[in-house]
Amino acid sequence: MLAAVDTEQPDHEAYGRVTNPERYQIVVGAARDRIDDLVEAYQVESEAGEPKADFPDWAGGSESVVRLQPVRGAPLAFMFTDFPGVVIRVGEWGVQAFPACGCDACDESPIEVVERLIDLVDAAIEGTYREQLTKRMLRYGYPSRRGALSTEKPLERGEWKRYGTPNMHNWPAWPIR
């Protein structure tokens, strides 16, 4: 017997409404715990960062930034937002928010958000995170529990210059302490 599929769209107001943002506090806790684990287990330096310097395109509020710079491999920066949530910069160009939205219509599961965050961080430390900048496209991706995840951002003419020199990074794994 086939399961029923809910095809109803959320009401229009749900897209602008966030009823219970505190449900994402678990994501903040998981990220802080993961940072502590990484600093203990890997050859990585931890330092405070600056929201505007580390996340120049971020328009929301933030509380703090923690940068992790391994001796080899993709760097990570964690910005803790006042939503509550976490935005992670990985490698040279990748940026992802956890949760991606948080509104009532999207209704992201906090547990699934934590799993996505762990998948991204694990890809960086295991050396499976890849990114590429061309004059026309910014791409980054990594394997996850739900299959390969990737982002492709088409670039306007000359926009690549704000990201730096076109290049490809096949980041190596972080060395263990």
Task: Kindly report the backbone phi and psi dihedral angles of residue 64, in degrees, each rounded to the nearest multiple of 5, phi listed first.
Answer: -165, 165
pTM score of the predicted model: 0.88
Task: Give CA torsion, residues 155, 160, 102, 9, to 10 deg.
Answer: 0
* Alpha helices, DSSP H, located in the chain: 25-41, 51-54, 110-126
Residue with the bigger pLDDT between 18 and 86: it is 86
Query: pLDDT tens, 9-53?
Result: 766 666 666 688 788 999 999 999 999 999 999 999 999 999 989
Quote the crossing angle between the two packed helices 25-41 and 110-126, to the nearest 10°. Answer: 20
Q: What are phi and psi of 62, to 5 degrees?
A: -140, 155
Terminal Cα-to-Cα distance of the chain (whole angstroms): 52
Q: What pLDDT does 60 receive?
A: 81
